[in-house]
Structure 1
Amino acid sequence: MSTVIEQAVQARLISSAPQLENVPATLGYDRTDPFAVRMVFPPPATLEGVEVVWTFSRELLARGLEEPSGVGDVQLRPYGYGRTVLEFHATEGVAMVHIRTSELRRFLRETQELVPPGDEHQYLDMDQDLAQLLNS
């Protein structure tokens, strides 16, 4: 069984312009980092023209599908019927995207099948993490 899950999603960038712009993004999960999910935006979708990766907790994703969640750089909240808003806060500004809630739920369900909630600690390699910490 693979230890990594990736899912392409269409994010709709919210801006001051009247049109919503579709941008490709990829959700990722690696059971060697069982508490985290990643959202990757490719270079054409970013202001800097480089790939941008946002990492946030799987628990935040789960809560954000049901109610406004997050107080830091990443915030999520349900939006209308069938959409979830993700806000990414950086020094350059705030990016807000809409994603179909069904896509996020499917991704979350796949991660939970790979690593059930509450069992994340079983997938951590504490010895390797400690060795890396001591070597740096």
Structure 2
Amino acid sequence: MSAVEQYARAHIVTDTADSFEDEHQAVPVALSYDPDADPRQVHMTLPGPHEWAFPRELLERGLRGPVESGDVRVWPCGRVQAVVEFHSAQGVSVVQFDSKVLIRFLRRTYTAVTPVAH
């Protein structure tokens, strides 16, 4: 199968920012999916050593309504944005995306196919 990797810009939403500009500054996020490693999981890498793996279905369902699984929560935010919230021992990271970025990524994961062996 073909691995899918997509880079996006998202906003880290936090109440600890020094200013409004800091809170709403876009940061690079890597979205990846490797069906050979685990066809049910997607990975999201935030700046720094922050990588999260969670069910692809959670991301898909979270675009339509609030869902959670373990330390990850996803919900729509208005008509064109979505929020992904990660909980860890170090705290909470709340990341806001344009929904179309996540939809495009999910579509690519579903079109990743296994080459036919001869």
Category of TM-score, reference length = shorter chain:
0.7 to 0.9
| Alpha-carbon distance, 1:23 to partner | 1.2
Seq. identity, %? 40
Q: Point out where structure 1 has 5 or more consecutive residues left out of the alignment.
A: 44-50, 116-121, 123-136
Match of 2:90, as an amino acid? E
Kindly indicate whether residue 23 of structure 2 is the aligned counterpart of residue 24 of structure 1. no
- Flag as ranges the 4+ runs of structure 1 deviating above 4 A: none
Q: What residue is the counterpart of 1:90 in the other structure?
A: 88
Following the alignment from structure 1 to structure 2, what is the Cα–Cα distance between the partners of residues 58 and 114? 13
Larger gyration radius, structure 1 or structure 2: 1
Match of 1:38 among 22, 43, 46: 43
Match of 1:34, as an amino acid? P
Q: What residue is the counterpart of 1:113 in the other structure?
A: 111
Contact 2:58 2:69 in 1 (8 A): no
Kindly indicate whether residue 70 of structure 2 is the aligned counterpart of residue 72 of structure 1. yes
Match of 2:27, as an amino acid? V
Instruction: Say what the alpha-carbon RMSD is for the aligned residues.
Output: 1.6
| Alpha-carbon distance, 1:112 to partner | 0.9
Tell me, what secondary structure is at the counterpart of 1:31? coil
TM-score scaled by length of structure 1: 0.74
Q: What residue is the counterpart of 1:9 in the other structure?
A: 8
Q: Which structure is richer in relative contact order (CA contacts within 8 A, separation 6 or more)?
A: 2
Q: Deviations over 1:8-44 (max 9, x none)?
A: 011101012433121111000001110000001232x
| Alpha-carbon distance, 1:74 to partner | 0.6
Kindly indicate whether residue 66 of structure 2 is the aligned counterpart of residue 62 of structure 1. no
How many positions carry a matched residue from both structures?
108
Q: Point out where structure 2 has 5 or more consecutive residues left out of the alignment.
A: none
Following the alignment from structure 1 to structure 2, what is the Cα–Cα distance between the partners of residues 79 and 41? 20
Higher helix share: 1
